[in-house]
């Protein structure tokens, strides 16, 4: 691999949405060039930023070869690809991919992910692979109703998930999610939790850095806000960071990783999900920490020393701005947010808005969490997209 700070060095992103866009902005800061491969028909946010853009299928190595051969290193924006495809793309193009196909294979679907972290001694939410109606019923009998059915691969923001309340709704949800058509479906018990927490870890040959433990605020299975640091006991924050580092080590990860936890009413931490890429829960780090998750993403996969992750101010709040209308995207009623001292508005450059789609975010940093959270909510509640 060429020296990453040589100005013809090119980093490639599999996926062209807002996560790749925000990582690309940091790659440009380092003087790098950016290639991108999209599996969507419409133009995506990164494709407006670079002339090196390809579109095709994540299932077709051949369609990705020209993209891969143009890069000095490749990294991921999402998990909607198979580890065997990544391994074949790396082998045929000769371009290194991070996280490596071997690391990705250990977490590429929800079943394998649970097994990997369980084998590493990390507590996870109770789960079971569902193969029959009997499995649906026995899981409910053992762990209680309601519970969640999840597509093992490809779900996000509530998509690919169904809450089931009895045997009949479980049967219907299993069919709806594709279980009868051969799609792998797992059941997860509902956890009686007080907080949902997240920790980002960046790791490469230089070592690792672990970001503050933050709290994610969820509505309808969508993360609507993030508070950093989480308003939980310091011992819980430290334990979540320790578990996150253990999880990154368990897959020998090189890159940036996010780990989401449930804090139970009994004070236990259960690892819920992971992501081998930047994560929505870490957007606050752009203004909230010395080195953002996006900069450390680029640093990590390019083999550069990792940056300081200390917080700039004692409190940071990130508000997700979701689409409110089905129309060409435009941010309205943003004046209060833009006028807020230490407030930062980020639009993702998506052309079309639709209700519930992540279109932008707003971050506010300050001295005291209660005040910062209140002001951030007030600034963003009037915004329409």
- Per-residue model confidence as pLDDT tens digits over 47-68: 999 999 999 999 999 999 999 9
**Domain spanning 193-380 has what CATH number?**
3.30.470.20
The pLDDT score that the predictor gives to residue 159 is: 60
- Per-residue model confidence as pLDDT tens digits over 18-36: 999 999 999 999 999 999 9
- Per-residue model confidence as pLDDT tens digits over 264-295: 999 999 999 999 999 999 999 999 999 999 99
The pLDDT score that the predictor gives to residue 38 is: 97
Q: How far apart are alpha carbons 278 and 126 in whole angstroms? A: 26
Residue whose token pair is 């924006």: 77
Sign of the CA dihedral 222, 228, 231, 232? positive
Report the DSSP beta bridge partners of residue 358.
Answer: 322
Q: Where are the beta strands (DSSP E) in 96-178?
A: 127-130, 147-151, 161-164
Q: What is the mean pLDDT of the chain?
A: 96
pLDDT band at 96 (very low <50, low <70, confident <90, very high): very high
- Per-residue model confidence as pLDDT tens digits over 190-202: 999 999 999 999 9
Domain boundaries in the chain?
10-97, 126-189, 193-380
The pLDDT score that the predictor gives to residue 161 is: 87
Q: How would you class 85 by CB atoms within 10 Å of its CB: exposed for 0-12, middle for 13-18, buried for 19 or more? A: middle
**C-beta separation of 37 from 97 below 8 A:** no
Q: How far apart are alpha carbons 294 and 155 in whole angstroms? A: 23
Arch. (CATH architecture) of 126-189 = 2-Layer Sandwich (3.30)
Arch. (CATH architecture) of 10-97 = 3-Layer(aba) Sandwich (3.40)
Least confident of 52-56, 97-101, 157-161, 252-256: 157-161
- Per-residue model confidence as pLDDT tens digits over 299-316: 999 999 999 999 999 999
The pLDDT score that the predictor gives to residue 180 is: 85
The pLDDT score that the predictor gives to residue 94 is: 98
- Per-residue model confidence as pLDDT tens digits over 104-139: 999 999 999 999 999 999 999 999 999 998 999 999
The pLDDT score that the predictor gives to residue 153 is: 78
Full-model pTM: 0.95
pLDDT at 42 over 90: no
């Amino acid at each position: 691999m060429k020296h990453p700070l040589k100005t013809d060095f090119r980093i490639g992103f599999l996926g062209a949405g807002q996560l790749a866009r925000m990582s690309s902005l940091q790659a440009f800061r380092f003087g790098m060039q950016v290639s991108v491969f999209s599996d969507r028909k419409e133009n995506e946010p990164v494709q407006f930023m670079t002339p090196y853009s390809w579109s095709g299928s994540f299932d077709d190595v051949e369609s990705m070869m020209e993209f891969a051969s143009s890069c000095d290193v490749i990294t991921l924006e999402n998990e909607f690809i198979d580890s065997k495809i990544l391994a074949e793309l790396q082998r045929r193009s000769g371009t290194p991919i991070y996280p490596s196909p071997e690391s990705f294979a250990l977490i590429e679907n929800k079943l394998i992910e649970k097994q990997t972290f369980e084998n590493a001694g990390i507590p996870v939410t109770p789960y079971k692979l569902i193969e029959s109606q009997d499995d649906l019923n026995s899981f409910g009998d053992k762990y209680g109703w309601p519970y969640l059915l999840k597509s093992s691969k490809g779900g996000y923001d509530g998509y690919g998930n169904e809450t089931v309340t009895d045997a009949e709704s479980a049967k219907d949800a299993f069919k709806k999610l594709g279980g009868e058509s051969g799609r792998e479906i797992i059941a997860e018990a509902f956890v009686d939790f007080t907080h949902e927490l997240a920790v980002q870890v960046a790791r490469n040959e230089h070592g690792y850095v672990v970001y503050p433990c933050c709290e994610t605020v969820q509505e309808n299975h969508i993360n609507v806000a993030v508070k950093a640091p989480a308003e939980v006991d310091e011992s819980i924050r430290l334990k979540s960071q320790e578990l996150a580092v253990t999880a990154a080590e368990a897959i020998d990860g090189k890159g940036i990783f996010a780990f989401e936890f449930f804090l139970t009413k009994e004070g236990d931490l259960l690892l819920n999900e992971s992501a081998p890429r930047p994560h929505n829960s870490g957007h606050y780090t752009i203004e909230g920490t010395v080195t953002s998750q996006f900069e450390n993403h680029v640093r990590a996969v390019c083999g550069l020393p990792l940056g300081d992750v200390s917080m700039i101010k004692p409190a940071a709040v990130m508000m997700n701005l979701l689409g409110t209308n089905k129309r060409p995207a435009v941010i309205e009623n943003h004046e209060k947010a833009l006028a807020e001292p230490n407030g930062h508005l980020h639009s993702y450059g998506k052309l079309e808005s639709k209700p519930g789609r992540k279109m932008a975010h707003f971050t506010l940093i300050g001295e005291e969490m209660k005040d910062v959270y209140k002001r951030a909510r007030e600034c963003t509640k009037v915004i329409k997209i």
